[in-house]
Amino acid sequence: MAFTIAIDGPAAAGKGTIGRALAAHFGFAHLDTGLLYRATGRKMLQGLDPVAAARSLRAEDLLADDLRSSEVGQAASRVAAIPEVRQALLDFQRAFARRTGGAVLDGRDIGTVICPEAEVKFFVTASDAERARRRHLELSEKDPRLTLKEVVEDLRQRDARDSARATAPLRPAKDALLLDTSEMTIEEAVATAVAEVEGRRGA
Ligand code: CDP
């Protein structure tokens, strides 16, 4: 049986962490849809046409070790505003969402466009300062020279671009549960999400 958990929200709000934990808890498959846009953006940086790149993405493209960098993130948000790129990635995401055995997808448009019929939808947020702090902590392990100011600017630009685009802009689905993780530990955020899903599964 299909059961879909959709997780959307701005950059670095904790969607991936919560998504992975929910998938592990319920034994569902997990797809970080940001990786599809990051892999496409990375190919654009290498000189490929973004639409052609999105149409020819392969599983191994999602394993490149620089996908999480700010530079690739910026490229991702630029290609993500191109309707043909989104269209090229649509069928894969929809099929993943409705696979047998349950699925968790995190991104920007999962509850609104990819899977409006998802059984549970979360819109995960956190304050700008907290999101920047977390992402800086994560990225500075690989890039010790990266400043907090650069991370703040990266998140601000991507959120603005992702919210303003005409196709599948970042916004909560009407029936999404808002989860503000600013003051929560990872454990608290995951426990809140698990309890919500359990409630809906029993319903
Ligand atoms: O991890 P973080 O929240 O920083 O970003 P991500 O989820 O890896 O997404 C990178 C970029 O891909 C975003 O800034 C969006 O522009 C785009 N994206 C999108 O448009 N739609 C999605 N479903 C997922 C990501």
DSSP secondary structure letter of residue 46:
T
What is d(CA 93, CA 98) in angstroms, rounded to the nearest whole number? 9
Name the residue type at position 137. Answer: L
CB of 12 sitting under 6 A from ligand 1: yes
What is d(CA 103, CA 96) in angstroms, rounded to the nearest whole number? 7
**What is the pLDDT, as a whole number, of residue 202?**
76
Q: Whose CA is nearest to atom 20 of ligand 1?
A: 80
Atom of ligand 1 nearest to the CA of 35: 8
CB of 107 sitting under 6 A from ligand 1: yes
CB of 105 sitting under 6 A from ligand 1: no
What is d(CA 138, CA 140) in angstroms, rounded to the nearest whole number? 6
**What is the pLDDT, as a whole number, of residue 203?**
65
Q: Which two tokens stand for residue 164?
A: 């303003």
**What is the pLDDT, as a whole number, of residue 201?**
84
**What is the pLDDT, as a whole number, of residue 1?**
85
pLDDT tens string 48-96: 999 999 999 999 999 999 999 999 999 999 999 999 999 999 999 999 9
Q: Which CATH class is domain 4-193?
A: alpha beta
| Phi, psi of 64, deg, nearest 5 | -55, 140
What is d(CA 120, CA 67) in angstroms, rounded to the nearest whole number? 28
Report the residue among 38, 68, 108, 181 best suited for mutation to probe ligand 1: largest number of ligand atoms under 8 A from its CB: 108
Q: Sign of dihedral through CA atoms 16, 19, 23, 28?
A: negative
pTM for the predicted model, two decimal places = 0.97
How many Å lie between the centroid of ligand 1 and the Cα of residue 156? 13
Report the residue among 18, 77, 96 best suited for mutation to probe ligand 1: largest number of ligand atoms under 8 A from its CB: 77
Mean pLDDT per 10-residue interval, the chain, length 203 residues: 96 96 98 98 98 97 95 97 98 97 98 98 97 95 94 97 97 97 96 96 75
Atom of ligand 1 nearest to the CA of 114: 23
